[in-house]
Structure 1
C-alpha cells in the first residue's frame, strides 16, 4: 500500500507535514499528520483521490489543519497578479478582491503587488 500511495507520502514530506505517521494494517494504509493550512490539506486529498478514486477504501487519512483561520499563505513571485493568485487557489481569477481585502494592511492597490510580499489567502 505504501508503494501505491508513495506520491502522497512524498507530497507530505515536501509540504513539511508535522506529526506525520504512516502505518499499514490489513491492507489499509493509515496516514496521519498536521498540515499548515486548508490548502495543503486539500493538496494531499487531491493526490489521494488521484490514486484511489473519489472514495478510496484502501487508505484512511487523518489530516488536521494547524491554522484554520486562513486558506493559505502565499509569497508573491515575479510576474504574478492577484487574479493569477486567485485563479491558483480558488479556480476563479475574479476572487482577487477577497485576497486584496484580506491584505489591505500591506497592499495599497489590487493592481500593485511586489515579489516577496507575504499574502494571506482567506477562507471563502
Structure 2
C-alpha cells in the first residue's frame, strides 16, 4: 500500500519545464532567436532574443501568469533585438489607431503617439489601411 502512494505522489510532481511549457510554446510562436532552455535543480533557465520589447513583455506576462509575481523556479534572460521601437504592427481590417493604442498601451488616447511615429506614411490618423506596417513607439 505504501509503495502505491509513493508512485502516485511521484507521478504528480511536475518538472519546471512542464510547468512553463506555455512560455516555451509562446517563445516558439514569436520566433525567439538563439533560444536555450536548461533545467538545473528544479529551476528552468531560459535564454533568447525577442524582436521587440513588446514580445519580451508577453513572455514575462506568461511567466508571471504561471509562476506568480516573483517565481523562483524559472530564470529568464531575454534580450531585445530592436530597442528603437516598442513593436512593429501590421494593420488588420477594421483596426483604428485607437484600437491599436489600446492593445499595446492599454489606453486608446495614445493613438496620437503612434500617428506621430508614423508620420512618414500616415497623413491622417483616421486613414490607415490593412497591410501597413506601423511603428509602435516606446513611451
TM-score category, normalised to shorter length: over 0.9
Aligned-pair CA distance for 1:113: 0.2
Are 1:67 and 2:67 counterparts? no
Q: Aligned pairs, how many?
A: 124
Q: 2:57 aligns with which of 32, 36, 42?
A: 42
Q: 1-side partners of 2:89 and 2:95: how far apart?
A: 11
Q: 2:101 aligns with which of 66, 86, 110?
A: 86
Q: Report the structure number with the largest CA radius of gyration.
A: 2
1:14 maps to: 29
User: What SS is found at the alignment partner of 1:116?
Assistant: coil
Residue-by-residue CA offset, 1:23-74 (whole Å, 9 max, x unaligned): 0001100000000000000000000000000000000000000000000000
RMSD: 0.2
More helix by share: 2
Q: 1:33 aligns with which of 45, 48, 53?
A: 48
**TM-score scaled by structure 1?**
1.00
Aligned-pair CA distance for 1:101: 0.2
Unmatched runs of 5 consecutive residues or more in structure 1: none
